[in-house]
């Protein structure tokens, strides 16, 4: 499988409203207080639809992946109840040979916008075992 040929592949734009009750449930699940003024920094983890759609499209089976790393950069605070749009791009692949075969490190970047301007960027690294 030539994963390099898929680098630059983007999803369409997804739209979602960040329901305050969902944000509150997330806060309770991770043990932090709910703040009506802004979502928790790691709440963007819930916006991974684009990553899963791209993994399916490029042919990487979910049972062969491990979550490697997550990074968030906020340009402005996002409030619970905000209407957001996001698009995900497959931005990089690096292959490494291990004792159990090839491991591919896939990087997905999502741009999250609200009211027409960039609010945040989420960068996810996924490790795919035996996929090269």
R_g of the chain computed on alpha carbons: 16
**Ramachandran class of 77: left when φ > 0, alpha when ψ lies in -120 to 50, beta otherwise:** beta
Q: What is the DSSP letter of 131?
A: -
Task: Give me the mean pLDDT over the 13-41 stretch.
Answer: 97
Q: How far apart are CA 129 and CA 103, in angstroms?
A: 5
Q: What is the pLDDT of residues 37-79, one digit of tens each?
A: 999 999 999 999 999 999 999 999 999 999 999 999 999 999 9
Evaluate if residue 33 carries a pLDDT over 80.
yes
Helices within 18-121 (DSSP H only): 20-30, 49-58
131 contacts 6 by C-beta, under 8 angstroms: no
pLDDT band at 99 (very low <50, low <70, confident <90, very high): confident
Q: How far apart are CA 14 and CA 47, in angstroms?
A: 9
Mean pLDDT of the chain: 95
Class of 3-129 in CATH: alpha beta
* pLDDT at site 98: 80
Q: How far apart are CA 77 and CA 40, in angstroms?
A: 10
């Amino acid at each position: 499988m030539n994963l390099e040929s898929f680098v630059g592949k983007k999803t369409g734009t997804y739209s979602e409203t960040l329901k305050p009750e969902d944000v509150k449930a997330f806060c309770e699940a991770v043990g932090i207080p709910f703040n009506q003024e802004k979502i928790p920094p790691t709440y963007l983890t819930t916006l991974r639809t684009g990553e899963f759609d791209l993994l399916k499209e490029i042919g990487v089976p979910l049972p062969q992946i491990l979550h490697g790393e997550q990074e968030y950069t906020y340009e402005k605070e996002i409030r619970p109840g905000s209407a957001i749009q996001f698009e995900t791009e497959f931005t990089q692949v690096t292959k490494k040979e291990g004792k159990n075969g090839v491991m591919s490190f896939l990087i997905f970047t999502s741009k999250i916008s609200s009211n027409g301007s960039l609010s945040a960027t989420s960068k996810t690294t996924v490790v795919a075992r035996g996929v090269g």
